[in-house]
Amino acid sequence: MTTLPPLAFPIDRVLAAFEQQDVPTLLATVSDDVDFRIDHYRDDADTGWQIAHNKADLMAVVQRLGAEVFPRGTKILHTHSQPLGNDWILTQFHQRFFYAVQQREVESVTWITSHSQNGQVDYFRETVTTITPV
């Protein structure tokens, strides 16, 4: 099995930019017509607004995430991206952050399915599977 260097895939660069709150890099790594959505498994959070169909929509989602979900940012504890073929990637994303929705520090494990073309993410589906109080 080949070990890939860190940030080998566009999704890895998107996640690193999100952690660093580097919106210009995040937007540069996303296609103009991105298909973006975040869903939560067994959480009461309203995710209907966590959908974007282009960069302008994504910017609005990122700004709202920063204000309403991640007001103190996030820390990546672990990521692992696995190529699925044909530019599809499955990423396990483990993070720690102050979850404003619940007003407490949590850790969360999510799964992200992404696709990229020409170095830019054009499809992003995140399923938040756990939100565990720390």
Where along the chain do its domains lie?
10-133
**One-letter amino acid for residue 80 of the chain:** H
Strand order in the sheet with 51-52: 51-52, 30-40, 120-133, 104-117, 88-99, 74-85
Q: Looking at residue 46, what is its pLDDT?
A: 80
Distance between start and end Cα atoms, the chain = 34
Class for the domain spanning 10-133: alpha beta
Q: Looking at residue 6, what is its pLDDT?
A: 58
Q: Looking at residue 4, what is its pLDDT?
A: 44
Q: Looking at residue 8, what is its pLDDT?
A: 85
Please give the model's pTM, rounded to 2 decimal places: 0.91
Per residue of the chain (134 residues), give pLDDT as tens: 444 455 689 999 999 999 999 999 999 999 999 999 999 887 777 888 999 999 999 999 999 999 999 999 999 999 999 999 999 999 999 999 999 989 999 999 999 999 999 999 999 999 999 999 99
